[in-house]
Structure 1
Amino acid sequence: MTEPFTVAIDGPAAAGKGTIGRAIAARFGFAHLDTGLLYRVVGAATLRGVPAIQAAQAVKREALEDPALRTPEVAQAASQVAVIPEVRAALLDFQRAFARRAGGAVLDGRDIGTVICPQAEVQLFVTASAEVRAERRHKELADKNIDTNLQDVLADVKARDARDTDRAAAPLKPSTKAHILDTSDIPVDAAIAKAIELVQHAFQFD
């Protein structure tokens, strides 16, 4: 495929949108962008003393590969800089250019269907209860030998949800075209299968 085709996936932290996005990209040969990493790059820079807007204006794609972006401290910083309208504006062109690249693209984040790619051919809103998402995040951190407890993780998830949904700039919400996919009570394989079915239907894959 040479024409642009965009899959926009939004949802709160630890709902499974990244897992689903990577699976879609692998299935159809699309490029994948976890847009949250853009904000983690900016957040990590602020922890080093770089002003957030300056950091957003200087983001390079190779910076997204840094494994240090996956720490809880960087996640917190990313959530805080994501509420700054100038930071979001600075990252807009990067995301839109990626979305309309030849060969298809999958982007997951908080405002892909509502702001970045409102005309995306497929839009998904992946969600789950805060408790289920906290359990997933706690396990992920434990698997990385990061010491934390479930109650702290749940409090963090709820705080991030509040920042994402209450911010003035591009609040987290489903677009009017989004298919809602609640992963609270279904296995990840079932969620992936449903998402792939939606993409196949939209693109009329064999």
Structure 2
Amino acid sequence: MPFTIAVDGPAAAGKGTLSKGLAAHFGFGHLDTGLLYRAVGCRMLGGEDPVAAARSLLPEDINRADLRTPDVAQAASKVAVIGDVRAALVDFQRAFARRAGGAVLDGRDIGTVICPDAEAKLFVTASAQVRAERRYLELTGKGQVVTLDEVLSDVRARDERDMNRAEAPLRPAADAVTIDTSDLDIDAALSVAIAAIEEKRPAQG
């Protein structure tokens, strides 16, 4: 039986790392849906119309090495507010979610829009300051020249856009378990998440 785990949350809250850990623990497939929007944003930066890019997205587009830059992150946040872009990517995500053997999807509207009937839903969050510090270390570790203030400003701008967009705003699903990772390392957060999901699994058996 398919079993879908929906993981939502703002940028740099740890949902991607947590989702990968959950997929490995349960033996499920994993889809970082943010990469879909990053891929569209990247193609938009290259001069393409974002709606056309979303409708013609190819698997190799989400495996590009240049999708983790700040410019692409901001472009992804901008294209994500476009209704026709979101609509073009919905079917891909829903098909993955019901794959045989289980699936973990992480993004910003998985539990509320893409998979409202997901068997387990998590909302992973952390303070803006903590998230900015994490992203700053990630970017500078890759050799990018940024300041913590710049990264914090970007995090807050993305939060503002994501939470206030007309299409699928970022918010926890009513039945989601919220995990605040501000003071948790990945192992502790993963333990909390696994426990929350295990509570949902017996009914599926």
TM-score by length of 2: 0.97
Letter matched to residue 42 of structure 1: V
In structure 1, how many angstroms separate the alpha carbons of the residues matched to 2:68 and 2:109?
Answer: 20
- 1:196 deviates by 1.1
RMSD between superposed Cα atoms in Å? 1.2
1:44 to 37, 42, 45: 42
SS at match of 2:35: helix
Query: Which is worse superposed, 180-189 or 10-19?
Result: 180-189
The answer to whether the aligner puts 1:179 opposite 2:177 as a matched pair is yes
Amino acid in structure 2 at the alignment position of 1:17: K
CA distance in 2, matches of 1:59, 1:124: 27
Measure the CA separation in 1 of the matches of 2:141 and 2:193: 27
Deviation (angstroms), 1:61: 2.0
C-alpha displacement of 1:188: 1.6
- What is the TM-score when the length of structure 1 is the normalising length? 0.97
Distance (whole Å) between structure 2 residues aligned to residue 22 and residue 54 of structure 1: 30
Q: Could you list the runs of 5+ residues in structure 2 that have no partner in the other structure?
A: none
**Residue equivalent to 1:110:** 108
Asked whether 1:129 is paired with 2:127, we answer yes
Moved over 3 A (4+): none
One of 5, 8, 16 as aligned partner of 1:18: 16
Q: How does 1:181-196 map to 2 (within 5 A)?
A: 181-196=179-194
Superposition deviation, residue 21 in structure 1: 0.2
Write the distance in 1 (CA, Å) between the matches of 2:100 and 2:155. 35
Q: Offset of 1:202 from its aligned partner? A: 1.4
Give the count of matched residue pairs: 204
Q: Distance in 1 between matches of 2:65 and 2:106?
A: 18
Q: Which runs of 5+ in 1 are unaligned?
A: none
